[in-house]
Amino acid sequence: MNTNSKEIQEKELHPMSGYLALLIELILVAADVLSIIFGVRMINDGNYVAGGLLIAAFCLLLLIACIFLGGLKALQPNEALVLSLFGNYHGTIKKSGFYFVNPFCIGVNPAAKTSLSQISQPSTGQIAVRSGEATSKKISTKIMTLNNNKQKVNDSLGNPVEVGAVVIWKVVNPTKAVFNVNNYKSYLSIQCDSTIRNTARKYPYDIADEENLGDEKTLRGSSQEIADQMKIELQDRVKDAGLEVMEVRITHLAYAPEIAAAMLQRQQAVAVIAARQKIVEGAVGMVEMALDKLSENNVVELDDERKAAMVSNLLVVLCGNKDAQPIVNSGSLY
């Protein structure tokens, strides 16, 4: 943005009631009808000068009535209207109601024909342009949603991942939204894409060794904290456009298809190793407990060689992934 340009300060307008202007409009229409009636009568009676003046008054009143109609504006709740007069900023109406403004003022909204599509598109931009239909110059100040489609980015380890987010936002300064950027809707969408890419590349998708994770954040494990950071960064980017980012939520997070299968195998391997480690730790504890109980209760006296054989057999039984086949020894111990 050009920092040398003069920033336009918002000026809230409090125009006259539209109902009063509508009453004046009706009076003009009534006077218009009377002037044409009396004008035609005078011409028929031979008074061409007075009749011509009344017909001229009819044309003038008709022109004034048509111009007056252009000054009537109606705003719904949570709507604003930015007005310009002959190329200069005139003011902003932010309260709902029925008003009359300068008929030569025009509404300004470069994003009037642009909508933030909620339907998934192949591209990351969610901008759709409506053509061939009437569009209002009013600016909605309601809470709106930008559904940013999933886009492929690289995490801090260089792995391609797909990230999608939803942005909850609204217009808080209609004047800035109109004059500070060319199209505030497309501006928000582009800045959202840039924010997602800039944030995702700072963190890894996941860490294989979760025990060594510590305080390091990951896209998968710290999604809420990273979404909060996205909100802060996106708000800083769009504040000059008069927009407020209320919330950012990550709606889609996954490895890119080309590496998804390999990463799934890695995750499965990590899970298997962790499970085996727990099984071995439990088996060693059980063997130790069995030997202690046998010695404590004097059930049987085992030398070191027999203890080693017993430990080996117990570990095979406890750590094996298949059911053990017992063998009954009917002879002596030795």
DSSP output for 124-174: S--EEE--SS-----EE-S-EEEEEEEEEEE-TTS-EEEEEEEEEEEES-H
pLDDT of residue 120: 37
User: What percentage of the chain reaches a pLDDT higher than 90?
Assistant: 6
pLDDT of residue 157: 77
Tell me if the pTM is above 0.75. no
pLDDT band at 308 (very low <50, low <70, confident <90, very high): confident
CA distance 128 to 138: 18
CA distance 189 to 165: 11
How many helices (H) and strands (E) the chain has is answered by 7, 12
CA distance 179 to 156: 37
113: burial class by Cβ within 10 Å (0-12, 13-18, 19+)? middle
pLDDT band at 266 (very low <50, low <70, confident <90, very high): low
pLDDT of residue 326: 65
- The tokens describing 219, both together, are 């896209």
pLDDT band at 318 (very low <50, low <70, confident <90, very high): low
Range with lowest mean pLDDT among 156-160, 180-184, 196-200, 326-330: 326-330
Give whole-number Cα distances, 89 to 48, 134, 155, 194, 231, in Å: 47, 24, 45, 31, 31
Compute how many other C-beta atoms are within 10 angstroms of the C-beta atom of residue 121.
12
Which 3 state secondary structure label does DSSP give 180? coil
pLDDT band at 223 (very low <50, low <70, confident <90, very high): confident
Looking at every residue in the chain, the average pLDDT score rounds to 76
Contact 39, 55 (CB under 8 A): yes
